[in-house]
Amino acid sequence: MKRILLFCSAGMSTSLLVTKMQNAAKAMEMDVSIDAFPEAEMASHLDDADVVLLGPQIRFALGRAKKLCSEKNIPVDVINSMDYGMMDGEKVLKTALKMMENQNREDHP
């Protein structure tokens, strides 16, 4: 099972997006785990993550997130602010899946 983690200021604003992403995954018959946490807890949740996405409101934390995630070979990026604003769970899920696919390509050329 793939694990997608979303981080934002307090872990609350991404909860609706997580639900929409879970619904999109279910519609695509995909077995993924999607959770949201406060950015301050990032280091303690990365062990079994396959991809990390940051809410646009914590874009400033991308440098720290990249440092933490690179140590564990986890792709990380900021969620597109338009997709986030529209709460487009399907599009954000597809972005996360593409990030995992690209990471796998880099790991196994």
d(CA 66, CA 63): 5
pTM of the model: 0.94
Give the model's pLDDT for residue 11: 65
Q: Kindly list the domain boundaries of the chain, sorted by start residue.
A: 2-101
Q: Which pLDDT value is given to residue 28?
A: 95
The CATH class, in words, for 2-101 is alpha beta
Distance, in Å, from the CA atom of 85 to the CA atom of 83, rounded to the nearest integer, reads 6
Active site amino acids: 8
Closest CA to 96 of 18, 39, 43, 38: 18
Q: What is the pLDDT of residues 15-54, one digit of tens each?
A: 999 999 999 999 999 999 999 999 999 999 999 999 999 9
